């Protein structure tokens, strides 16, 4: 059985799409754990309605919002399946998602299978809703379909970290985990940006056989009002904190990847500074110490030999300006963002 863990906070307008895509799975041996994080909309009632109709659905309610990490941890604790996967409430999955991932796992005896994903926007929801009105026709042998239409490859831990994880693929969804792999591992509490990454890093170091496929069975909804689109708050510093934590683990066990992680920290700092630059002059005064901490941390890592070659396209010039003229960088960036 596959346990599907879905954390929810005020997701009433997404619940139907997400849960219906799970109900239509061609692989039917699953349980759905809906973790309501003290929603103050109609989410809990809607979840309970689905649970009444299908005994594979279990609703767990938290009386206060303790964050997505705590919700996912509760889901892992209650999961009974041999395998576990995570789906966010504003996302959805293809009808054959579980079947495909399970087939890849079975074919390769993998303890972790990672698939690709498609970015989805509001306009895609209508397409989804039209599709969900009718079931797909029965498909040919799933194993033959995999062999003919999808690429997949087995990775060792260091290969995965270098060529996938450190290339920006740090989300916990779109992955099928053997449940025993999750034992003793939790999502870090009190973090809103980067919790997926630290969780995956911990899990990856326990894997013995990890498979990645380009099958894109997961639809990741881009919410224009989502966490990475909002006005600057101190939670944006989480991404720097998380990558510094990751650096400690990676440089110890995979030293050749150290410089690449440092390049990510530099990019994270510039992203945080970019959000600060969007604030008004008065608002920025409140975060003067944060600006200073960002710059001091930046100066610490920019001195690392070879870090420049790992910076993404366009970033070397940003790094140069910020290193030598931090106030000019903030002013220019803020002007461009507000234009």
Q: What is the CATH number of the domain that holds 42?
A: 3.90.550.10
Count structural domains, the chain.
2
Q: Do 175 and 216 share a structural domain? A: yes
pLDDT of 229: 59
Q: Do 150 and 51 share a structural domain? A: yes
Q: Do 86 and 213 share a structural domain? A: yes
pLDDT of 145: 44
- What pLDDT, in 10s, does the model give residues 92-148? 999 999 999 999 999 999 999 999 999 998 888 877 777 776 654 444 444 444 444
248's enclosing H/E stretch is: helix 238-253
Domain membership of residue 204 as a residue range: 2-227
221's enclosing H/E stretch is: strand 210-221
Q: Do 195 and 46 share a structural domain? A: yes
User: In the chain, how long is the greatest CA-to-CA distance?
Assistant: 63
Please name which of 104, 101, 99 lies closest in space to residue 138, comparing C-alpha atoms: 99
- Looking only at the bridges linking them, the beta strands covering 30-37 and 210-221 are unpaired
Q: Do 297 and 209 share a structural domain? A: no
Give me the helix-helix angle, 258-277 and 315-324, nearest 10°.
70
pLDDT at 226 over 90: no
SS3 readout for 276-309 = HHCCCHHHHHCCHHHHHHHHHHHHHHHCCCCHHH
CA–CA distance, 185 with 174 (Å, rounded to integer): 18
Strand-pairing partners, residue 219, are 92, 118
pLDDT of 281: 87
Q: Do 273 and 220 share a structural domain? A: no
Q: Which residues contact 132 (CB under 8 A, 6 or more apart)?
A: 17, 20, 21, 24
What SS3 class is residue 61? strand
- What pLDDT, in 10s, does the model give residues 161-172? 999 999 999 999
Lowest average pLDDT, out of 39-48, 192-201, 228-237, 284-293, goes to 228-237
pLDDT of 143: 42
Last residue of a domain, one of 204, 227, 250: 227
Last residue of a domain, one of 176, 203, 227: 227
Mean residue pLDDT of the chain comes to 91
Please name which of 140, 138, 174 lies closest in space to residue 26, comparing C-alpha atoms: 138
More confident call, 209 vs 151: 209
- Looking only at the bridges linking them, the beta strands covering 175-178 and 83-86 are antiparallel
Q: Do 175 and 251 share a structural domain? A: no
Q: Do 187 and 245 share a structural domain? A: no
| Through-space distance between the first and last CA atoms of the chain, rounded to whole angstroms | 52
pLDDT at 68 over 60: yes
Q: Do 236 and 308 share a structural domain? A: yes
Q: Do 211 and 83 share a structural domain? A: yes
Average pLDDT over residues 267-277: 95
Strand-pairing partners, residue 119, are 220
pLDDT of 134: 62
Average pLDDT over residues 276-284: 90
Last residue of a domain, one of 196, 227, 258: 227
Q: Do 250 and 194 share a structural domain? A: no
Q: Do 30 and 138 share a structural domain? A: yes
Percentage with pLDDT > 70 across the chain: 92
pLDDT at 271 over 80: yes
CB 262 within 8 A of CB 301: yes
More confident call, 337 vs 178: 178
Q: Specify the DSSP class assigned to residue 231.
A: P
Res. 223 pLDDT band, cuts 50 70 90: confident
């Amino acid at each position: 059985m596959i346990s599907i863990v879905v954390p929810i906070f005020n997701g009433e307008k997404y619940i139907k799409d997400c849960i219906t895509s799970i109900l239509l799975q061609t692989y039917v041996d699953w349980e759905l754990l809906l973790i309501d994080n003290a929603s103050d909309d109609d989410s809990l009632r809607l979840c309970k309605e689905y649970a009444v109709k299908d005994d594979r659905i279990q609703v767990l309610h938290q009386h206060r919002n303790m964050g997505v990490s705590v919700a996912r941890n509760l889901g892992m604790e209650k999961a009974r399946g041999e395998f576990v996967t995570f789906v966010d409430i504003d996302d959805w999955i293809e009808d054959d998602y579980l079947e495909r991932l399970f087939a890849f796992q079975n074919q390769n005896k993998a303890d972790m299978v990672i698939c690709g994903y498609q970015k989805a926007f509001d306009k895609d929801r209508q397409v989804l809703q039209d599709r969900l009105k009718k079931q797909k026709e029965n498909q040919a042998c799933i194993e033959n379909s995999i062999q003919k239409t999808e690429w997949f490859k087995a990775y060792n831990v260091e290969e995965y970290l270098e060529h996938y994880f450190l290339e920006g693929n740090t989300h916990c969804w779109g992955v099928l985990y053997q449940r025993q792999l999750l034992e003793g591992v939790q999502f870090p509490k009190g973090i809103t940006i980067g919790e997926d990454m630290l969780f995956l890093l911990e899990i990856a170091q326990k894997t013995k056989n990890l498979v990645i496929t380009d099958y894109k069975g997961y639809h990741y909804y881009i919410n224009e009002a989502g966490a990475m689109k909002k006005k600057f708050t101190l939670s944006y510093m989480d991404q720097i904190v998380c990558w510094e934590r990751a650096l400690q683990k990676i440089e110890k066990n995979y030293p050749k990847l150290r410089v690449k992680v440092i390049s990510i920290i530099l990019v994270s700092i510039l992203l945080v500074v970019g959000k600060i630059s969007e604030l008004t002059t008065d608002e920025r005064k409140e975060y003067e110490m944060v600006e200073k901490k960002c710059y001091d941390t930046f100066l610490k890592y920019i001195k690392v030999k070879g870090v420049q070659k790992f910076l993404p396209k366009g970033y070397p010039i940003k790094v140069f300006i910020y290193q030598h003229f931090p106030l000019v960088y903030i002013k220019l960036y803020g002007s461009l963002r507000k234009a």
